[in-house]
Structure 1
Amino acid sequence: MNLNSNTLYLQELEEEQSTESKSEDPELHQSFDSEICEVIKSTVGEDGTKIATEIKHFSHVHDLKLTDEIPNNTKCNGCVQSILSPFYSCTKCSFFLHKSCSKLPKIKRHPLHYHPLTLSYQQASFSCGACGQWCNGLTYNCQICKNRDYSVQCILLSDTLTLACHEHRLYLSNTNIRQKCSSCNSKRYNAFRCSTCEFVLDLKCATLPQTTWYNQHEHPFNLRYTLEDDSGEYYCDICEEERDPKQWFYYCAKCSFPAHRDCILGKNPNVKQHI
């Protein structure tokens, strides 16, 4: 089954990588090849490009092989989002890594933090300093502050955001006053704000997967910003509790199946449980 999950995030990740080396200090990337990812085996594609078929990534003890056979509901051990094909895997450990995640830069700069951030891997869960969610997997942390960890989803967001649900561009804002998210009503110091109107979006909502899967349901669920009908009565088909019509939700159009975000994603969606 071809999992088409979190496409927006992965597209932004690829775009971020393509511009990163041009905008940052080259010295920050001098140890990327040896410390982050080493190519063990490679082949040449039909278009003449070199394809790494086996790699040694710093996040895992065994070599990872390129594959396109996706087990059901598999998540990447790097970004903890649903796997897209092709990807790297260690089948005996059930360890999976997006090609994009294998190419993340060792050092990143981001407006959320004033020091350069270093890529690391944490199997134990940590609280992201940007969105406040519990996460594990690949993380960017500050080697100077020592206690600041950020999920890769948050760090790969740029300081501006364009959404289909809002007509104006959003800008990353870090204030001394907690800002109330227009989607989930939570309050955070870090959020994306609209300079034209009062719309605010926290980073938890900004990094929601556009498409995801739920247990054994045969169809994917898409993130919805607007209500599915004008009935005036809105419930979650999982918990059967009422839904707030102002809040985003997940929806399977083929089954007319609406659900709360937390019911679909779970309590800690950015934490992958290890076998």
Structure 2
Amino acid sequence: MAKHGKFLVPNGKNQNGKSKDFFTCDACGTSGHGFTYHCGACKFDLHVECASLPEIEKRKDHEHPLILLCGFDADKVEGGGFSCYVCNDGIGKGCWSYCCLDCKCGTHLECVGKLIR
């Protein structure tokens, strides 16, 4: 995550004091309200929970650590992207995910702790 300009903004207001009742979290893609971590330079908002995600996750069913990848870019992955190896749904461009750089696989944020279907 960028080491600049990230502020916890209460009551749905951005750092300029303008009302911003709802926001879309740039990590998980879902809407939120209330507190947000906001970076004016990067123009992103994060749920408090998403801003606190661990940078590395370990699964018992995978030999390598899974690294938090902020802003998945399918164009940079050989073959144009990958599916979540837990739920088998695609990982969308721009979505944050946990990835194994050795195996070129990954999981959605919400799937990293779930059992494989």
Global fold match (TM > 0.5) = yes
Deviation at 1:199, TM superposition (A): 1.1
SS in 1 for 2:98: strand
User: RMSD across aligned C-alpha pairs, in angstroms?
Assistant: 2.3
What percent of counterpart residues are identical? 26
**Are residue 179 (structure 1) and residue 23 (structure 2) matched?**
yes
Alpha carbons of 1:237 and 1:169: their partners in 2 closer, same or farther (altered >3 Å)? same
Alpha carbons of 1:175 and 1:251: their partners in 2 closer, same or farther (altered >3 Å)? same
More strand by share: 1
- Please give the alpha-carbon distance, in whole angstroms, between the structure 2 residues aligned to 1:266 and 1:191: 26
**Pairing of 1:153-172 with structure 2 (within 5 A):** 163-164=1-2, 168-172=4-8
Could you tell me which runs of 5 or more consecutive residues in structure 2 were left unpaired when the two chains were aligned. Answer: 13-20
- Please give the alpha-carbon distance, in whole angstroms, between the structure 1 residues aligned to 2:29 and 2:77: 23
**Are residue 243 (structure 1) and residue 79 (structure 2) matched?**
no
Q: Deviations 1:62-92 (Å, cap 9, x if unpaired)?
A: xxxxxxxxxxxxxxxxxxxxxxxxxxxxxxx
**Are residue 208 (structure 1) and residue 56 (structure 2) matched?**
no
**Pairing of 1:218-237 with structure 2 (within 5 A):** 218-225=63-70, 226-227=72-73, 229=77, 231-237=79-85
Give the TM-score of the pair, scaled to structure 2: 0.73
Indicate if the aligned counterparts of 2:86 and 2:114 stay in contact, CA closer than 8 A: no
Deviation at 1:234, TM superposition (A): 3.0
Alpha carbons of 1:209 and 1:219: their partners in 2 closer, same or farther (altered >3 Å)? same
More helix by share: 1
Give the TM-score of the pair, scaled to structure 1: 0.34
Which letter maps to 1:216? D
Aligned pair count?
Answer: 103
Deviation at 1:185, TM superposition (A): 2.3
Partner residue in 1 for 2:40: 195
Partner residue in 2 for 1:75: none
